[in-house]
Amino acid sequence: MYQLKFNEKICASCRQADCLLKCQYMTFSGHKEAHGEMMKIMKGKDSRVLSECVTCYACEEYCTRGNHPFYLISERREEKGRFTAPRPITTQWINMTVMQGKYLVGDVKDKALSCCYIPELGPLGAGEIFKDVASAGVFGAEFMCPAVHTHFARMSVIKERLPIVIENYRKLGVKEVICLHDECYGTLTSIASA
Ligand code: SF4
Ligand code: SF4
């Protein structure tokens, strides 16, 4: 199983704690409280953040020190069974995004135009800026970003599926993926490297 790249030393010495201080969904009295909550999360202790975080991802941007607060919050939630949605909904999402070999691949050469698992995105890949890749569409669970599972605090599903998605692109010989779905872009540029 892949391990999240999270530098505990960087976090322990952080004088900003912007990850939580800038959060739009929780209020903290100042650095001491916000940093204290992050330290609790890091050490695997309970924190109100594990209940109150609405999974907006923004703290991944607020942390300017290269750590991954949101992915860590999501991992801790999963470890503690603090899920964000009722179990049937979480399970439904896991099941309906499972890879079943029902994917579509267009005339892909070195570039692919990803429609994720959202057919409505296909028509958006038209016009002048997409003229080189309009016929190189890929669609299906085999190419979708599993980032949606962060919203359900199921990072284990991402760790299992994302390497397969990347391998599927490799098998196509793709050197560049143009993502019509912003979460696909975030997955390939942020979650994959984390
Ligand atoms: S996650 Fe980033 S901003 Fe938050 S305490 Fe750690 S280093 Fe600081
Ligand atoms: S992901 Fe959670 S903790 Fe991070 S900014 Fe959004 S609501 Fe706040």
> Looking at the 3D structure of the chain, how many domains does it have?
2
**Ligand 2 mutation pick, 53, 57, 152, 155, max ligand atoms within 8 A of CB:** 53
Residue 3 inside a domain? The answer is no
Residues of the domain holding 70: 8-80
Note whether 138 and 103 are within 8 A (CB): yes
Domain boundary among 29, 57, 80: 80
Residue 2 inside a domain? The answer is no
Q: From CA 138, how far away is CA 35, in angstroms rounded?
A: 42
What is the whole-number distance in angstroms between the Cα of residue 29 and the centre of ligand 2?
16
Give the ligand at the shortest distance from the Cα of 10.
1
Q: From CA 122, how far away is CA 115, in angstroms rounded?
A: 6
pLDDT of res. 43: 97
Domain boundary among 80, 103, 119: 80
Residue 132 inside a domain? The answer is yes
- Coil/strand/helix, residue 58: coil
23 lines ligand 2 (CB under 6 A): yes
**Ligand 1 mutation pick, 5, 14, 60, max ligand atoms within 8 A of CB:** 14
Q: From CA 146, how far away is CA 148, in angstroms rounded?
A: 5
Residue 71 inside a domain? The answer is yes
Q: From CA 91, how far away is CA 152, in angstroms rounded?
A: 9
Cβ neighbours around 75 below 10 Å, total: 22
Which atom from ligand 1 is nearest to the alpha carbon of 34?
5
pLDDT of res. 1: 77
Q: Are residues 173 and 148 in the same domain?
A: yes
pLDDT tens-digit series, residues 117-170 = 999 999 999 999 999 999 999 999 999 999 999 999 999 999 999 999 999 999
Q: Are residues 110 and 142 in the same domain?
A: yes
pLDDT of res. 157: 97
Q: Are residues 37 and 103 in the same domain?
A: no
